[in-house]
Structure 1
Amino acid sequence: MEETFDFVVVGSGGGSMCAALRLRAAGKRVLILEKTALLGGTTAASGGVMWIPNNRYMRAEGIVDSSEQALAYLDAVLGEAADMPGASRERRRAYVEQAPQMLDFLVAQGIRLRRIPSWPDYYDAAGASVPGRAVVSELFDIKQLGEWMDKLRPGFLPLPANLDEAMQLPLIKRSFAAKKTLARILGRALADRLRGRRRVTAGQALQGQMLHAALKAGTEIRVGCAVRELLLEKGGVSGVLCEQDGQLRRITARLGVLINAGGFARNQRMLDRYIPGTRADWSSAIEGDTGEMIEEGLRIGAAGAQLGERIGMQIALTPGWQKLAVKPGMQNDINKPHAIVVDQSAQRYANEASPHPEFSRQMLLRNRSVPANPSWMIFDSQYLRTYMLAGTLPGARKPQPWFEQNVLRKADSLAALAGQCGLDAQALAATVQRFNGFVRQGRDADFGRGNAPYDRWAGDPLHQPSNTLGALEQAPFYALQLVPGDVGTYGGLLTDASARVLRPDGSVIAGLYATGTSSASVMGACEVGPGGSIGPAFTWGYIAAQDALRSAAAND
């Protein structure tokens, strides 16, 4: 079977429907092909945060930012690295200039967004924004999707709660403000039930809005349709060969093909080749994140770049973790007072309050010289009484399988705990003693934990004098293994400042674009702030559509 469209998008994650909306606004026929049965990609299952410098919501609140300030921040964090061509200064500039324009375009299409009131950039560097550049979706009633509602991938938070509201809930036992927030969320849920609404949040809300707008604009969308080949004509990409219900379809794309099919976090063969020491079943990326479109791009001569990079998230392998779509992420656990992380020599090796991509990266780097995969989270009874642990509420009572399966280790002394974990008892005692000394001094002289605005934001706002530094001194003591999970890979096909896929010699493969984790990230080896993956996915999808329209106009 043969069909013709103006533009074909492979995958339905962040950026796919953004590109479709831009092309539909110009009157072009657009087809989105999704190989799984659900739409929205990993974006729908995520927090749905976009890192957008100098955005309209910052300006409305009087928060100072500019393209130059954001570029200075990227330069300070990323530097100049020849092995990170996706993060070239040309692409960095294109991103910081185009991202706010993309956001304005979405708002003009009726997408309702908002700024997280406080979420600092991840690194304490020149140009960083302490108020933050994080943009998220407003709550969205997915019943507006009608028959498409069940085709939208579920989110991770089954409450009509904004992300900043959800972040307050762990304080529910200690904060009156948190109790008020919970009451507001529950009241909202009750109102939704009475009015027949089903409002969702985070990435599901973002992708629900995008799907609703794309359908309303006349975009054709197909699920269960896997692309098998990129079709070549005169050295460029002319369309795709896809399979649906066992039937092959040849689809011509007059203006181009955009690959936005995710990375390869669920492909163990590719992980073993590019990111050894990681496992596909540790990933919180969706099941379709298997990398075949990256490999297809490489097959037709595209350049791959930054394939050894990932968006790491340290996780705990609590009982039943294999069945969870989103694994038990531990970033919001290890940054709290009265806890540290050590390698298998019982030494700390990184700032526990650093953002999850950075800490997970340090875990893999450390493992090259000292076994650190897995690592151990060590904490005391003060911690267990006060903070959530791997998704469980504060308190000493934990699920019995945690103890029966030796997932959570408990001992009346650090020496006994070290014996249970196979750690050197003297080394662990020395590490804890050194850290406790830093706590008393109010300064982590080894790794600067608590120095950066992000560290303090991520810690416990009710713990004084430090939000993140607290001594380990009250028995019993506990230990929990951590492994370097992820929320996706970060390398892929190399693209230029117009999102066009390049060959190794720098020439453009005509008609082929890439965005999201199918492409080499403009962030290089880092995620510079919350939404450092989704923001670029949307922006390069928008840029790809703009370039396709310019090329079409030039050829008319």
Structure 2
Amino acid sequence: MAEHTGNQGSVLSRRHFLAGAAAAAGLAATAGLAGCQPSADTGASQGAASAAGDTRWSWDTAPDPVSEDRIVETIEKDVVIIGAGLAGVAAACSASENGLSVAVVEKMGEPSLRGGAFGSVNNRYWREAGVEVDVEEIARDWIAQSGSRCNEANVWNYLRRSAEGIEWLCDKLEANNFTIMLLACGYKGPTYPEYYGCLQFKDSENNFGAMFAGKVLIDESNANGAEYFFNHRAEQLERDGQQITGVVASCEEGYRRFVATKGFVMATGDISGDPEMCEAFAPIMLKCAASQYTPTGANTGDGQKMGMWAGAKVQDYAYSPMIHPQQFTALSNGNFLHVNMRGERYMNEDTWCQGRSLNVLDQPDSQGYCWAIFGGDRWLQDSIDTLDEGGGMFWDFHRHHYNDPPTGAEWWEGCISSGMEQGMVFKADTLDELAEQTGLPASALKATVDRYNELCAKGVDEDFGKRSVMMTPITGAPYYAAQFGPAAMVAIGGLMVNARSQVWDENDQLIENLYSIGNCAGGLYGTDYPLVVPGNSLGRCVTYGYLVGRELAGIE
């Protein structure tokens, strides 16, 4: 691989925050935070502070321009890509295979590749399995899950082109002896349904995930002449009129300026590694008990900050949190009873994983998790029998791939056994004993179980409206209590783009040669991360990396 190394340079400087972003930050600051909550009047005072020219956030003041005597080299390419995550390396491969010279500027010492589920709509692998989904239905559900705050043109562009983008990647993977698998997980309820379309990949040594798929893109782009500059931290964009003229990156030798004759592509990832940006744009991320963001030091909103300093428009609503219930156990089935730390039932458990995660964080006395209560002689068979009417993370992971037979008891018993070893699952002969083990108030827990069993016998959930098919009674010993709760994954949002990934400025004019893709681009989501097509975050990274490379080559 052609690569260059150096250190990560100095800390980012600041300038007065853009009006639109300040408004968003003021709104976000009104939400409750765990661990770093601002004072009660912070949100109300933000607008006045901004109007007065005061600063609040560390990025409120732009960095001073780097003096020419500190720039050790200027490198010119057709395309400069900032960030070597999945979106960036896909863009590098697409642009280079279409004859463009490419430089990829990455602040870390290696590519930032994670995750393992790649979502798209009606790709050939699912069609060959006889499964084709209704794109209009997906679009409606996507927009609804985004609170109607997404850019519908961008959503439709992804839905129409995602199969093409993923198949482009799959062709390369299959040429490198990867196996393509149909990931069949997804919630199948009447509200928040999740549609088939997700793929997983494994190489000839049974390695899964974006790390190994991304390496294929890196190797191919490198063979096409792309150069990777690792340990080069992009610090600021240089703008002249409606064009970006360069990006300056700190490195061991000082600073390098990168100049692109066709376009600059911002692919720096999300903000989840920067607690301050989460406070401003996605405060709910800070309420999670833990973060599974990786690698440490990446995904700190660098592209969002550089874009704002260069006058780019940022989305004026909260970034979309991806918070999956995977910090504790996988035992959060929709047919189980869920109780909070006070032993009280608090929701209709029959919903998508984002709904379960959000409700956990809103409970009184929350420690980042709640309890799934189940027991007796029906829960196991009911969990298997109702899978095709429920499912979703992580209920259906015992039937991971399409047409796989369910492993049933073996999988569930493994979850219970490992959970007990980790102190996250408790087993008891009585509810009093279970309450003592978990710290739940015994009287409240017993009353909640009695009420739930009463509703199960009626076949009608008079309290929360759960479907009768999901009402599995707790018929007796052994009783189980399993911790479940969300981990903070990513907070997606940033620079506003059109359907061609070009960035808008504050005056709603295109910055002609600046593009943003992947998790630092705004507009594809809103309010929540939609799981309409599981794995769509990685799917959009591949799709828009593929498309922007073609755009810059003049093919689109």
Fold equivalence (TM over 0.5):
yes
Higher mean C-alpha deviation, range 5-14 or range 340-349: 340-349
Change (3 A) 1:423 1:108: closer
Separation in structure 2 between the aligned mates of residue 527 and residue 491 of structure 1, nearest angstrom: 16
Aligned match of 1:361: 358
The unaligned stretches of length 5 or more in structure 1 are 142-197, 317-327, 452-465
Whether 2:310 is the aligned partner of 1:313: answer no
Once the two structures are TM-superposed, the CA of residue 352 in structure 1 deviates from its matched residue by: 4.3
Superposition deviation, residue 46 in structure 1: 1.5
Q: CA deviation at 1:253?
A: 1.4
Cα deviation for residue 533 of structure 1 reads: 0.8
Aligned to 1:92: 155
CA distance in 2, matches of 1:253, 1:125: 49
Q: Which one of 268, 281, 287 corresponds to residue 275 of structure 2?
A: 268
Q: Which position in structure 2 is the counterpart of 1:335?
A: 333
- In structure 2, relative to structure 1, the CA distance for the partners of 1:88 and 1:53 (3 Å cut) is same
Q: Is the 8 A contact 1:73 1:126 kept in 2?
A: no
Assess if the C-alpha contact under 8 Å between 2:108 and 2:230 holds in 1: yes
Across the aligned residues of Structure 1 and Structure 2, the Cα RMSD in angstroms comes to 3.6
Shift of 1:519: 1.7
Is 1:376 aligned with 2:370?
Answer: yes
> Residues 59 and 81 (structure 1 numbering): CA distance in 2 closer, same or farther, change over 3 Å?
closer
Residue 498 of structure 1: which of 497, 500, 517 is its match?
Answer: 500
Which amino acid is 1:210 matched to?
Answer: L
Call closer, same or farther: CA 1:294–1:388 in 2, change over 3 Å: farther
TM-score, with length taken from structure 1: 0.70
2:127 to 35, 43, 59: 59
In structure 1, the residue matched to 2:106 is 34
- Separation in 1, partners of 2:511, 2:227: 25
Q: How far 1:241 moved relative to its partner?
A: 0.9
Structure 1 contact 71–92 (Cα < 8 Å) conserved: no
Determine the C-alpha separation between the residues in 2 that align with 1:376 and 1:250: 50
Q: What is the CA–CA distance in structure 2 between the aligned matches of 1:216 and 1:477, rounded to whole Å?
A: 59
Instruction: Decide whether the 8 Å contact of 1:35 with 1:227 is kept in 2.
Output: yes
**Does the 8 Å CA contact 1:228/1:241 hold for their aligned counterparts?**
yes
Could you tell me which residue of structure 1 aligns to residue 312 of structure 2?
302
The answer to whether 1:140 aligns with 2:203 is yes
Contact 1:500–1:509 (CA under 8 A) maintained in structure 2: yes
- Contact 1:90/1:497 (<8 A) preserved: yes
- CA spacing shift, 1:393–1:425, aligned 2, 3 Å: closer
Query: How far is 1:415 from its partner?
Result: 4.1
Report the equivalent of 1:213.
Answer: 220
* 1:4 matched residue in structure 2: 76
Q: Is the 8 A contact 1:344 1:423 kept in 2?
A: yes
- Asked if structure 2 preserves the Cα contact closer than 8 Å seen for 1:122 and 1:529, the reply is no
Aligned counterpart in structure 1 of residue 259 of structure 2, from 252, 256, 263: 252
Aligned pair count? 447
Listed as ranges, the gaps of 5+ residues in structure 2 are 1-72, 381-407
1:312 Cα offset (Å) = 0.5
- The DSSP-based 3-state class of the residue aligned with 1:218 is coil
What letter matches 1:134 in structure 2? Answer: C
TM-score, normalised with respect to structure 2: 0.70
Matched, 1:432 2:495: no
3-state secondary structure, aligned to 1:95: helix
The answer to whether the 8 A contact 1:140-1:209 is kept is: no
Alignment equivalent of 1:17, drawn from 89, 106, 116: 89
Rate the CA distance shift 1:336–1:363 in 2: closer, same or farther, 3 A.
Answer: closer
Q: In the alignment, what sits opposite 2:343?
A: 346
Equivalence map 1:145-544=2 (5 Å): 198-279=205-286, 282-286=290-294, 287=296, 288-305=298-315, 306-316=317-327, 328=328, 330=329, 332-335=330-333, 339-352=336-349, 354-364=351-361, 366-367=362-363, 370-379=364-373, 394-395=416-417, 398-399=420-421, 402=422, 413-415=430-432, 417-418=434-435, 423-439=440-456, 470-475=472-477, 477=479, 479=481, 481-520=483-522, 522-524=524-526, 525=528, 526-544=530-548
Partners of 1:373 and 1:263 lie apart in 2 by 25
Deviations 1:435-486 (A, max 9, x none): 33455567766566678xxxxxxxxxxxxxx7x7644454565545544322
Question: Per-residue deviation at 1:63?
Answer: 2.2
1:529 and 1:445 mapped to 2: Cα distance?
Answer: 31
Do 2:320 and 2:525's aligned partners in 1 also have CA atoms closer than 8 Å?
A: no
Deviates more, 1:248-257 or 1:289-298: 289-298
* SS at 2:79 equivalent: strand
User: 3-state SS of the aligned residue for 2:255?
Assistant: strand
Change (3 A) 1:270 1:122: same
118, 133, 136: which one aligns with 1:71: 136
Q: Distance in 2 between matches of 1:211 and 1:57?
A: 24
What is the identity percentage for the equivalent residue pairs of Structure 1 and Structure 2?
21
Deviations 1:125-182 (A, max 9, x none): 699675x111222x225xxxxxxxxxxxxxxxxxxxxxxxxxxxxxxxxxxxxxxxxx
State whether residues 419 and 482 of structure 2, in contact with CA within 8 Å, keep that contact through their aligned partners in structure 1: no
